[in-house]
Amino acid sequence: MSEASSRETVESAEGLFAETPNGPRLCGSRCATCQTPYFPRSSGCHNPDCDASKMEDLYLGPKGRVWSLSVQTYPPPPPVVTVDPFEPFAAAMVDLEEGLRVLGRIVADDPGQLNVGDEVELVIAPLGHDPEGREVVSWQFKPV
Amino acid sequence: MREVAILGQGLHPWGKFEAQSVTELCRHAVEAALGDAGVKWRQIEAVAAASSRFSGGKGWGLNGNDIVEDMGSTGIPVYNMSAGCAAGANAFNVGHMLVASGQHDIVLVMGGEKMPKGFIQTSGLEDPTDPEYLRQRCVGLPGPGFWAMLCRQRMAQHGTTEEDLAAIAVKAHKLGAMNEYARFRKEFTMDDVLNSSMVNYPLRLYEICPVSDGAAAVVLCSKEIAEKAASKPVWVASSAVATADFNDGLPRHLACTIGPENAHHSEAKIAVRKAMQAAGVEHGDIDLIELQDNTVYYELAFPEEWGFIEPGTAEQWVAKGDTMPTGKLPINPSGGFQSFGEATTAQALWQIVEVASQLRGEAGGRQVPNAKIGLAQSLGLGGNATATVLRV
């Protein structure tokens, strides 16, 4: 890895999360008609009972509660981003206050320290490096 | 709608077959099904096939066309069905309709798959508009991690233990050891399972299914033909296909709404309910279930979500032997995916063949005594599910 590439940072995906004046948020949307929230942003409402899809942008987070979680103890294949050498990481399904269940990795010293029901909050943090050696950052959750 | 029977059935054993093509595996199953049915290839009026995801099909999932060319082109119509891991029973559903509607009298349904080694790359696309790519790139959650999360939720809700999970794997392999078509024909002890490596807590290596190769085929026919056949027919009481409910609270991509639905895989619950209604059967009428146990967790969750077992009690059913072939509700007497491994698009049809074998009383040491009505269920990527009720 060159010095230049090691300093380069990319987002895991464009337009899915943002650092706002109030802190990190997920970039979602909501249907103004039926109030259904979405992440990532949706161009149309998927609620089969909603007759008038009317989408508006909405920042989601930062507070949530772990619905369930798992520790990834072995290196998964790309495009999963990991650190080299591989270190286990926890991933979770987190229930946000806006009524969305969202996937995200857990930032914690010990990936096994969290439990179902624990409170977490959004952070933007590195996942590891991509095959080109660039650091990849993404939304994650950390214990409160 | 006309009544439809399974006139014949055939399997290629599940395993890893490096030297054989998927069409060779399929031909083995098709020839076995034709032989069992007592019909010649020329008599097949149409083919409904599962589109393979990983092998053959000219790269377009045209596996039905491959087998027609291989057996000998006769100009018959071919329907290639894609529904992720539910494809085999999706094809069965189409084959059933072709006969039930009166369009055809004898139809072949088949599915075969040769799996690449290692993890299933569910989409294989590197496209930021593909939700599956985003899920892996932004979070990283292969199948076992997803199953582990569902299982962990159950542990928090119902107090399921690691021993409860291991007991299901022991049961599965006890049955799989007796199944000549299973890939793993070896019994495991509780210690064997609990000492196998942790994949994603709480799921260990012997509590999830690996990938396998395999093929399955059935010949469907009208009532008129079935009643003239030498052997006693197995009747298709119903064949249902469903997709997921919007509000079931299962994040299949990066997020979902948190709905009131208590069945996480709503597609499976809907398919089972539709199939039972169409067949006119109640829970107590069903003598055995073959369900999709990618992980032992599903053997606990599914019977509860479908109303067969009181929520939170499935562990006790397993412990008491109530899900064994001689128990109150036999589940996966075949040995399940734990013993077979996952040959994705073929496996739903193998489950149907297994249920038919049970109803024919040909399951040997795994036989469910006096089995008259059986249910087979599958689940596939994209929120696909199927359920099939057979009876004799």
| pLDDT, tens only, B154-200 | 999 999 999 999 999 999 999 999 999 999 999 999 999 999 999 99
**Cβ contact A91–B199 (<8 Å):** no
How many domains are there within chain B?
2
Cα B184 to Cα B191: distance, rounded to the nearest angstrom: 17
Confirm or reject contact between A40 and chain B (CB < 8 A). Answer: yes
Residue pLDDT, tens place only, B289-335: 999 999 999 999 999 999 999 999 999 999 999 999 999 999 999 99
Query: With contacts defined as CB-CB under 8 Å, which chain A residues touch B251?
Result: 93, 101-103
Long-range contacts of B311-319 (CB under 8 A, 24+ apart): B311/B158, B311/B262, B312/B157, B312/B158, B312/B159, B315/B158, B315/B160, B315/B161, B315/B164, B315/B167, B318/B164, B318/B167, B318/B168, B318/B171, B319/B164, B319/B167
B262: phi then psi, degrees, rounded to nearest 5 = -95, -5
Give the closest of B140, B155, B256 to A72, CB-based: B140
Q: Are A100 and A28 in contact (CB under 8 A)?
A: yes
How many CA atoms, within 13 angstroms, populate the side-chain half-sphere of residue A42? 21
User: Could you tell me the CATH number of the domain that includes residue B172?
Assistant: 3.40.47.10
Q: What is the mean pLDDT of residues B239-248?
A: 95
Give the closest of B137, B139, B152 to A104, CB-based: B139
Element (H, E) at B192: helix B190-194
**Cβ contact B134–A40 (<8 Å):** yes
> Please, what is the Cα angle at B304 between B299 and B306, to 5 degrees?
100
Band (B119; pLDDT cuts 50, 70, 90): low
The DSSP letter of residue B359 is: H
Confirm or reject contact between A71 and chain B (CB < 8 A). Answer: yes
CATH of A3-143, one of 2.40.50.140, 2.40.50.840, 1.10.287.3610, 3.30.300.30: 2.40.50.840
Inform me whether the pLDDT recorded for B242 exceeds 70.
Answer: yes
User: What are the respective helix, strand and coil percentages of chain B, to the nearest 5?
Assistant: 40, 20, 40
Band (A3; pLDDT cuts 50, 70, 90): very low
Residues B262, B320, single domain; the answer is yes
How many CA atoms, within 13 angstroms, populate the side-chain half-sphere of residue A102? 32
Residues B192, B256, single domain; the answer is yes
Print the domain residue range for B179: 131-209+235-391
Confirm or reject contact between B257 and chain A (CB < 8 A). Answer: yes
Q: Are B176 and B350 in contact (CB under 8 A)?
A: no
Residues B113, B241, single domain; the answer is no
Q: What is the mean pLDDT of residues B99-105?
A: 98
Q: What is the mean pLDDT of residues B12-28?
A: 96
Inform me whether the pLDDT recorded for B50 exceeds 50.
Answer: yes
Whether residue B122 is contained in a domain is answered as no
**Cβ contact A101–B136 (<8 Å):** no
Cα B236 to Cα B46: distance, rounded to the nearest angstrom: 18
Q: Based on the number of CB atoms within 10 Å of its own CB, is B76 exposed (0-12), middle (13-18) or buried (19 or more)?
A: middle
Q: Are B361 and B68 in contact (CB under 8 A)?
A: no
Q: Residue B65's closest CA among B112, B114, B16? A: B112
Residues B245, B385, single domain; the answer is yes
Whether residue B126 is contained in a domain is answered as no
Residue pLDDT, tens place only, B274-300: 999 999 999 999 999 999 999 999 999
**Cβ contact B152–A89 (<8 Å):** no
For residue A4, the model assigns a pLDDT of: 46
For residue B120, the model assigns a pLDDT of: 67
Whether residue B67 is contained in a domain is answered as yes
**Cβ contact B126–A69 (<8 Å):** no
Cα B321 to Cα B125: distance, rounded to the nearest angstrom: 44
Give the closest of A40, A67, A79 to B136, CB-based: A79
Whether residue B352 is contained in a domain is answered as yes
> Please, what is the Cα angle at B68 between B229 and B105, to 5 degrees?
30
Residues B312, B184, single domain; the answer is yes
Q: What is the mean pLDDT of residues B212-226?
A: 97
Confirm or reject contact between B120 and chain A (CB < 8 A). Answer: no
Give the closest of A38, A74, A80 to B136, CB-based: A80
Helix axis angle, B87-100 to B347-359, nearest 10°: 60
Residues B163, B69, single domain; the answer is no
Residues B28, B44, single domain; the answer is yes
**Cβ contact A99–B257 (<8 Å):** yes
Residues B317, B381, single domain; the answer is yes
Name the closest residue on chain A to residue B146, using Cα atoms: A70
Mean pLDDT of chain B: 95
Token couple for B226: 């079935």
Which of B234, B267, B298 is a domain's end point?
B234
